[in-house]
């Protein structure tokens, strides 16, 4: 579909203008700005409003609008000082001032054509939908890996065992390879000596393995129990 103002035919779908029979190709963004101005003919629109309306989910500098207006004026042989088509309103924006016929060369009005072009050209995937899809994918991947490796997770159960009472203290406990017994040094502060004890973890019975005649440092499990003293 095409539409016309003055001696200019506009072909939005082809990013093309025909002026006095001469075909001129223009950039898509410049065509978008032209269609937007035509749709808002007679209205003052700011650069910010144009950018936000045409590219709501894209970071676009306002210089894109300025350059598009400059190129359109050059193509249409328009003047910023004595405008025939696009007037600059100081500190407010731009206004397409040329009167338009409501009937296009093709079908429908200028407004309908411009609106149809914008709806096709400016459709963008909503930002929040993109973010939502990304979050859902991340959650699915995390759940997949957690489910996949859940069988490899070994849960160890622990239980506490009282080795001595408050009248003494325990040092260097050493669990047996079978995890059924424990060796530990029991220190008696009042008497200033310590002993090595062996405790059965199933019955909680403990047996002193050393006398009270030395200071024992730590026991080690091996083929036989090794006891170090100083």
Per residue in 86-136, pLDDT (tens digit) is 999 999 999 999 987 654 444 444 444 444 444 444 444 455 667 778 889
Structural domains of the chain, with CATH: 3-124 (1.10.10.10), 169-229 (no CATH)
pLDDT of residue 217: 67
Residue 211's CB: how many other CB atoms inside 10 A? 10
Give the span between the Cα atoms of 101 and 110, in whole angstroms. 8
Average pLDDT, the chain: 78
Name the residue with tokens 């994918």.
137
Give the span between the Cα atoms of 219 and 121, in whole angstroms. 81
| pTM as predicted | 0.47
Give the span between the Cα atoms of 138 and 93, in whole angstroms. 44
Name the residue with tokens 């489910």.
147
Q: Are the C-beta atoms of residues 163 and 182 closer than 8 Å to each other?
A: yes
Per residue in 16-69, pLDDT (tens digit) is 999 998 999 999 999 999 999 999 999 999 999 999 999 988 877 889 999 999
Name the residue with tokens 């032209």.
34
| Helix, strand, coil percent content, the chain, rounded in steps of 5 | 30, 25, 40
Alpha helices in 27-62 (DSSP H): 28-39, 47-54
């Amino acid at each position: 579909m095409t539409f016309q103002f003055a001696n200019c035919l506009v072909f939005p779908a082809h990013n093309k203008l025909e002026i006095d029979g001469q075909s001129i190709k223009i950039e898509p963004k410049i065509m978008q700005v032209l269609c937007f101005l035509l749709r808002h003919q007679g209205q003052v629109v700011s650069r910010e409003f144009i950018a936000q309306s045409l590219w709501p989910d894209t970071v676009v500098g306002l210089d894109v609008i300025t350059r598009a207006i400059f190129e359109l004026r050059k193509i249409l042989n328009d003047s910023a000082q004595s405008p025939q088509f696009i007037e600059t309103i100081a500190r407010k924006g731009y206004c397409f001032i040329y009167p338009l016929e409501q009937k296009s060369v093709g079908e429908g009005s200028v407004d309908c054509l411009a609106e149809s072009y914008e709806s096709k050209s400016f459709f963008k995937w909503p930002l929040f939908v993109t973010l939502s899809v990304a979050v859902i994918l991340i959650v699915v991947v995390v759940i997949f890996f957690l489910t996949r490796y859940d069988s490899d997770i070994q849960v160890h159960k622990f239980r506490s065992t009282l080795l001595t009472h408050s009248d003494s203290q325990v040092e260097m406990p050493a669990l047996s390879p079978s995890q059924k017994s424990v060796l530990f040094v029991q220190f008696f502060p009042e008497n200033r000596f310590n002993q090595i004890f062996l405790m059965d973890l199933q019955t909680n019975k403990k047996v002193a393995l050393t006398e009270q005649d030395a200071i024992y440092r730590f026991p080690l499990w091996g083929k036989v129990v090794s006891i170090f003293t100083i």
